[in-house]
Amino acid sequence: MKKLPLKDAKYLLLIVFLLLSSLTFGVIDEETARLYFTQALKSIYEGDFAKAFELSQKALSGRVYVQELPYFWYLRSRLRIINNQVDKALEELKNFTMLVRSDDIDNLIAKVNYFRKLNLSPSSTFVMGYVNSLNGYVKGIEYFQTPTSLAVYGDKFALLDSKNRRIVVAKQNRIFSIKKVSKDLKQVFFDRNGQLYLLGEKALYNESEAEMISGLKVPYIAGQDREGYIYIVDFDRLIKYNPNTNKSLEFKLERITFALDAEMTVDKLYVLDALSQEIYVYSLDKLQRIDVIRVPEKIWNFEVTPYGDIIYLGKDKIVAGKVEFQMKDVNFIEYSYPTLFLIKWKGNIIDQYWLKDDKPIFVNIDSLHFDDSNAYAYIRVEDLYGDEIHYIGYALSMFEQDVYVPSDAYIEQRESKNILLNTCINELVNYRLAGTRVFGKCSILSKFTGGLSVQTIQDTMKSRLYWVTRWTYLKPVPPGVIKLSAKVAFKEQVYYDTMFYTNLLINAMNSASEGK
């Protein structure tokens, strides 16, 4: 007897599976299955994952069009994971991929695996690629000259032109606004909500130049923690300033420190001391020094990845971890993971590169919205800790049925889904796929969902930053299920998420909008 080729054998098994399903659950035909699938999608985009899971099970309880079966299977398993049935979901996916290969299912399994086996070790590799440049001179007009500070938020960055007392804001790599200031400033800084702060030699000001803190000595802003405190290293002390209450807490440093630069991660503070040329590392919880990093050459500017890898500007080079990239005429750098800004006073140029470590980026399509012409996807782009990644629009693209569709990308603040726990329950991947921040008495879940180990949810954590992509969808909308993918790509490194929509979903959403 002649054996069937492996590919034909797999499809025969798939056909047998479908026949058995139709015999057992013959009451549900393909179009009814699509209707349940659409209702499941609508529940997902409304945030009701329990209802969505029930509907996804109904969608698979009868006949399904063969070409859409991977979509149905993927959606049900994704919802199983969110509803804390991770092992069963993995078993289902493994069984299905024995019959049919699916990149989307493989990607979903990979997400489960990297949240189950968090790798926070120092990065073994870094790769770098050019993005764009912004010139201070355009058609004979000077917009900025020798900028001395750069701050990033969302899809924009602010430059401090201290010589000319002006702040230049660029959006989508174009000059968006220029504002004159009356103070002598040394640093600009965006907080978690996009409010701009201005640091002078002796005081901290808000964007309107109202004084927030006075009596500073040699200050430098390191960053802001999740509670909302802005950290300022100042000579022999560390100041934690709460912009919501306009109150400060002070902590004595163990030694006088002239901070050339300072940075923060989710749990550490890094300070470059001018005198010793060492980077002091402090824990944020106790503000105790826990490490000293010695750089092999004299530097005055450094950055740090979310995972503690040091990036610094050396002589004609950028050093990331143990990897060197040759770069000339760079005066200082600014890093908003994974985007590196190279400030070059010669020519007044801001070069932008991506500088990527070996850690994955989490991409998740939380919801979709449609109007008569356009589709809108609300996307979370986060690091492993659950913190939003800013200024990533250049790497974000959309695909329908695996075909690229031109889209615009911008940011929007939306309400955050938060939960208060008294104990650790469920898995990390449940909360990350659902987009839920954890607060309360489970520090590991709080740390890796963008939350806090506190009993009260702060006002600063009640919203979160989303990337919104807008594109013109095909009309009339084809029948059936349309696969939608959001991808963040850096050459060979591609991170993405897959969701779906149907013509029925668009009609239901537009009808609901008209009814309001």
* Same-domain pairing of 141 and 226: yes
Q: What per-residue confidence (pLDDT) applies to 515?
A: 58
CATH number of the domain enclosing 391: 2.60.40
User: Residue 272 and residue 277: Cα distance in Å, rounded?
Assistant: 7
* Same-domain pairing of 72 and 95: yes
Q: How many CB atoms lie within 10 A of CB 90?
A: 18
Residues β-bridged to residue 497: 486
- Buried residues in 27-49 as b, exposed as e (16+ CB within 10 A): ebeeeebbbbbbbbbbbbbeeeb
- Strand 230-242 and strand 149-153: the pairing is unpaired
Query: Does residue 193 fall inside a structural domain?
Result: yes
* Same-domain pairing of 231 and 369: no
Element (H, E) at 508: helix 503-515
* Same-domain pairing of 193 and 89: no
Of the three residues 116, 135, 158, the one that is the final residue of a domain is 116
- Long-range contacts (CB closer than 8 Å, 24 or more residues apart) made by 403-408: 405/471, 405/472, 406/471, 407/469, 407/470, 407/471, 408/469, 408/470, 408/471
- Strand 339-344 and strand 204-206: the pairing is unpaired
Of the three residues 116, 139, 169, the one that is the final residue of a domain is 116
The structure tokens 């005198």 sit at 275
What is the number of structural domains in the chain?
3
The letter for the amino acid at 113 is: N
Structure tokens at 278: 């060492």
Per-residue HEC secondary structure of 280-336 comes to EEEECCCCCEEEEEECCCCCCCEEECCCCCEEEEECCEEEECCEEEECCCCCEEEEE
Pick out the chain residues at pLDDT < 70. Answer: 1-27, 513-516
What's the alpha-carbon Rg for the chain, to the nearest Å? 25
Q: What per-residue confidence (pLDDT) applies to 97?
A: 86
* Same-domain pairing of 99 and 245: no
* Same-domain pairing of 221 and 264: yes
Backbone angles phi, psi at 441, to 5 degrees: -105, 30
* Same-domain pairing of 64 and 206: no
Taken in order 471, 473, 474, 479, the sign of the CA dihedral is positive
CATH number of the domain enclosing 252: 2.120.10.30
* Same-domain pairing of 202 and 77: no
SS3 state at 251: strand
In terms of phi and psi (left: phi > 0; alpha: psi -120 to 50; beta: otherwise), the region of 374 is beta
* Same-domain pairing of 349 and 405: no
CATH number of the domain enclosing 85: 1.25.40.10
| This prediction's pTM | 0.93
Query: Does residue 367 fall inside a structural domain?
Result: yes
* Same-domain pairing of 14 and 52: yes
State pLDDT tens for residues 365-392: 999 999 999 999 999 999 999 999 999 9
State the helix-helix crossing angle for 103-116 and 86-97, rounded to 10 degrees. 150
Structure tokens at 82: 């969110």
Backbone angles phi, psi at 94, to 5 degrees: -60, -45
Query: Does residue 445 fall inside a structural domain?
Result: no
Query: Does residue 443 fall inside a structural domain?
Result: no
The letter for the amino acid at 161 is: D
Give CA separation, 282 vs 232, 285, 383, 417, 468, in Å. Answer: 13, 9, 21, 31, 36
The structure tokens 């040394």 sit at 186
Query: Does residue 437 fall inside a structural domain?
Result: no
* Same-domain pairing of 294 and 346: yes
* Same-domain pairing of 278 and 238: yes
Query: Does residue 229 fall inside a structural domain?
Result: yes
Residues β-bridged to residue 324: 319
> CB burial class (10 A; 0-12, 13-18, 19+) of residue 512?
exposed
- Domain limits at 161? 127-356
Structure tokens at 60: 């698979």
Q: What per-residue confidence (pLDDT) applies to 346?
A: 93
Query: Does residue 397 fall inside a structural domain?
Result: yes
Of the three residues 337, 356, 375, the one that is the final residue of a domain is 356
CB half-sphere exposure, 294, CA atoms < 13 A: 2
Residues 313 and 330: beta-carbon distance below 8 Å? yes
> CB burial class (10 A; 0-12, 13-18, 19+) of residue 328?
exposed
Query: Does residue 427 fall inside a structural domain?
Result: no
State in Å, rounded, how far the first CA of the chain is from the last one: 66
User: Residue 161 and residue 233: Cα distance in Å, rounded?
Assistant: 22
Q: How many CB atoms lie within 10 A of CB 434?
A: 20
Averaged pLDDT of the chain: 93
User: Residue 282 and residue 430: Cα distance in Å, rounded?
Assistant: 31
Kindly report the CA angle at 515 between 509 and 516, in degrees rounded to 5? 100
Kindly report the CA angle at 412 between 385 and 136, in degrees rounded to 5? 95
User: Residue 459 and residue 457: Cα distance in Å, rounded?
Assistant: 7
